[in-house]
Amino acid sequence: MSSGRLFRKPSFETSEIGGKALNLKILTDSNFRVPPFIVLNRHDLEFIFGSVIEKVEAKFSDIQNNIKSSSFAELQVVCEECQVLFLEFEPNSELVNELLAHCEKEFGNNYSISVRSSAMSEDSSEISFAGQHSTYLYTTSDQLVQNIKASLASAWSFGALSYRKFHNLPITNIHYAIVLQQMIFAEKAGIAFSMNTSGNFADAVINCGFGIGEGIVSDKAETDCFYINRSTKKITRSVVQKKNSMQFNEHQGIHLADVNAELQLISTLNDEEILAVYDSVLKAEKLLKKPADIEFLFDNKGELYLLQMRPITTIRFDALNVLDNTNIIESYPGITLPLSFSFAKMAYSNLFRRSARAFWISSKKFDANNNVFDNLIEHFYGRVYYRLDNWYKMMALVYNSKRSMEAWENAVGLPDSASDTYHFSLLGKIKTWISVFWLILNYKRGNKRFFSHFNKAYTYFQNYHCHKHSASSLWKHLNESIEMTFKQYHLTIVNDYLAFKTFGWLQDLIVSLKIAENRELANELVVGQGSVESELAVLSFLRLKDLVKSDDLLNDLFKLTDKEVLQKLDSEEFSSFYNEWKVYLNRFGDRTLEELKLEIKSPRQNPEMLVQLIKSQIDSPITATNFKEKQFKIYQNATAQVSAKLKWWMPKTYYFNWVLRISRYGLANRENMRFCRTRVYSASKDIFLAIAELMQKTGNIELKEDIFYLSLEEVKNYCSGIEFITPEIISERKKIFLEYKKLRLPDRIIYNKHEKPDFSTYLKDITRECMNQSQIFKGIAVSKGLIEGEALVVIDPILTTDVKGKILISKMTDPGWVFLMAQAIALVTEKGSLLSHTAIVGRELGIPVVVAVQDATILIKTGDRIRVNGTTGLVEKIA
């Protein structure tokens, strides 16, 4: 504490030192590297400049209530008069000497400091005053008083007062503080935002240029731009030519200088520096409990300094929509047409409303969350995303447990966790435990009830032919079929929940009982159950392929055109094979790529696709026999490892085996229930196409497939006779979705719910080339094995893609990829989790699988020779 008249009241309240100074104090207390600073609080300034402040305030009090928006000229005249009053004012010499002595004590002899405003209303959570008050850099003792006067005067400048009036703030009783801060000579400087205010809030943004920060904030120096995905820390760079930088020397002062030619085209920040700034701005966000921006610099030693922290006033956490395509991209990759989306949205809402009831959610809570259940997915520029903010609300409502929420996050493969932000009451946890215990008691009985009911509902679903004469009759049948199907469909979510829980228990037991050092053994223990529909589809297909391969007549037949094959198959000569062919199409013919999209054709509807699939895999060495043998060997080795540690007479062995049985049962039923969903969607597709035929006959649409450009509500209204569809409507939507297809959207999007952002130019003008030169990439190991081979990168797959003997690299897979996966020797995907379809089918196929390898389809090129370790999760390029 000072012994003089200044700096006697070291208050740390915003009302005393302003938002900027308070934020610097918070940064310092939080162990950030901040240049040394002192604060002239409002009392200090009023002590020194009180008489001139009173004169200025008196001038403005006269016009405070009279000035109108049309008389801003009058305000400007008064402002100019007040600037002169401040600059001509001579403060008490004793106070000036005390101020100079204090600065010399704090900053040393021959100091160079910045004079920064810290008004009481500045850098608040609502209003920033960015650029409205004057800052003076490289201030010496000779300039200090004059620069303080000029900074103080700027609080009553025309610009600052116009800003106040715009925000309905008074133009009198203005309180001001000033930060005096030691200058650090910057090699490079910039600004970082914890959320991208001009685009996707899911990205943090860093702007950085060479020289001091004044060049960046005044837009006089070119800057590189770095986008950091908040969930994955993926960096996307825009490195530009930087010709200018703002510099300082004693002779020229602050001036614009040329950047050395060898530096102009290189990135201002390396990865380590980018992530250091990113971590700092995220910590600032946590400190402020609001989105934040920071000003920073790196000195000539490479040390990072923070110069300022403030809340971003244009973003409110409570007004954000959070979209994420994790997991759902397996079902809806790329562009999804309106009918598919609206049908899926209806299904999600219906399904999870019923499922919530199974967890004993009260009617009061249920009704309060209607909007959550209605908006679990979103159609964003033609892509399907989870509304992640609503999923978390629903999961918190249903699970009442942090561990259960974490199990769900791991199961769907979310790259980051938000479970720490939720707090659950003991009563809620007890209620959840009791409901889970009840669900376990009725688990198998419930699943049997589901499959029994589903078979009846599916049969009813398929009996739509008698309604084909009338659109209203078809709609009524569709509606009744959906309602009938969903009566027991909530049991699929119960099964998923228990499958996630018990698989997590299994992983924990493997480590806690010291059966293995890591949890990956659990993956092998759930392999080869024999009754999984995705596995049976492969086995049934392999049998068809083996029959063709082993029969000369069939082999010759499949050398003909697709149309000729189908024509000749339905003959006495091939009757035995044709019967199996029809059985396959009836049971598994809906399995195809992107099978949940109503607009996608399936082999059942287009048998030529099955002909092509058999032709493409006729030379594959995989048979039904060696497929099963491989599975059995994996499972046998895993169980042998368990038996070596757990003896039959140990009590823990019985508990472990119970958890294993329940986990295997749950995961098998998860896949089987997903296949039931495929059948429901396919049966719905048949009905929609029947409606489309009627629309085509009446001229409402030109092609049957045009119906998929309509929403579910529009189809319903057409069938009810209250909406007229025209080919022009379809034509316009086709143009829109063609434009959507050109867009490249990120995996996570956060935006203001009141203002949907324009993504038409998202990252279009920046360098997207990945600068990661590493040859080793890390993901999640989900299926054991070590193999080397040639990589095949597949972005837009077709069933006949030649994958034989190659390592398949993709963004993700959906259930229809099983036929491609069956030919591959290993699989690497950018998306996925331990319980994703990719993981489950990969384990069933017995090939090494690594999921969640960031940017795999960019870092690895077709033809690269790579090594995949399905045990450690490492993927390595081999020179």
**pLDDT digits 0-9 by tens, 249-298:** 988 999 999 999 999 999 999 999 999 999 999 999 999 988 999 999 99
Report the distance separating Cα 66 and Cα 64, nearest Å: 6
pLDDT value at residue 738 = 95
Q: What is the mean pLDDT of residues 747-768?
A: 72
Band (8; pLDDT cuts 50, 70, 90):
low
* Beta bridge partner(s), residue 227: 205, 236
Band (128; pLDDT cuts 50, 70, 90):
low
Band (765; pLDDT cuts 50, 70, 90):
very low
CB burial of 752-766 (b: ≥16 within 10 Å; e: otherwise) equals: eeeeebebeebbeeb
pLDDT value at residue 70 = 43
Q: What is the mean pLDDT of residues 519-536?
A: 83
Distances in whole angstroms, Cα of residue 208 to Cα of each of 222, 234, 242, 736: 8, 18, 10, 37
Report the distance separating Cα 708 and Cα 694, nearest Å: 14
pLDDT value at residue 180 = 95
814: left (phi over 0), alpha (psi -120 to 50) or beta: beta
Query: Is pLDDT larger for residue 90 or for residue 199?
Result: 90
Distances in whole angstroms, Cα of residue 50 to Cα of each of 56, 59, 853: 10, 15, 63
Instruction: Check whether 433 has a pLDDT greater than 70.
Output: yes
Hey, is 149 helix, strand or coil?
helix
Asked if 256 and 220 count as a contact pair (C-beta separation under 8 A), the reply is yes
Report the distance separating Cα 265 and Cα 497, nearest Å: 52
Query: Is pLDDT larger for residue 423 or for residue 599?
Result: 599
Asked if 358 and 494 count as a contact pair (C-beta separation under 8 A), the reply is yes
Report the distance separating Cα 595 and Cα 574, nearest Å: 29
pLDDT value at residue 64 = 62
Please report, rounded to a whole number, the percentage of residues in the chain having pLDDT higher than 70.
94
Other beta carbons within 10 angstroms of residue 72's beta carbon come to 15
Instruction: Check whether 130 has a pLDDT greater than 70.
Output: no
pLDDT in tens, 627-656: 888 888 888 999 999 999 999 899 999 999
- Specify the DSSP element, H or E, that contains 225: strand 224-229
pLDDT value at residue 67 = 52
Q: Where do we find the tokens 């994996």? A: 634
pLDDT in tens, 694-727: 999 999 999 999 999 999 999 999 999 988 899 9
* Beta bridge partner(s), residue 877: 866
Rounded to a whole number, what is the distance in angstroms from the first to the last CA of the chain? 66
Query: Is pLDDT larger for residue 363 or for residue 79?
Result: 79
pLDDT in tens, 32-83: 999 999 999 888 888 888 888 888 888 777 666 555 544 667 778 888 888 8
Instruction: Check whether 304 has a pLDDT greater than 90.
Output: yes
Geometric angle at alpha carbon 202, from 397 and 777, rounded to 5°? 100
Instruction: Check whether 753 has a pLDDT greater than 90.
Output: no
Report the distance separating Cα 374 and Cα 377, nearest Å: 8
Q: What is the mean pLDDT of residues 506-522?
A: 91
Band (552; pLDDT cuts 50, 70, 90):
very high
Band (599; pLDDT cuts 50, 70, 90):
very high
pLDDT value at residue 607 = 94
Instruction: Check whether 687 has a pLDDT greater than 70.
Output: yes
Instruction: Check whether 515 has a pLDDT greater than 80.
Output: yes
Q: Where do we find the tokens 């920064």? A: 116
State the chain's mean pLDDT as an integer.
87
Other beta carbons within 10 angstroms of residue 748's beta carbon come to 24
* Beta bridge partner(s), residue 116: 179
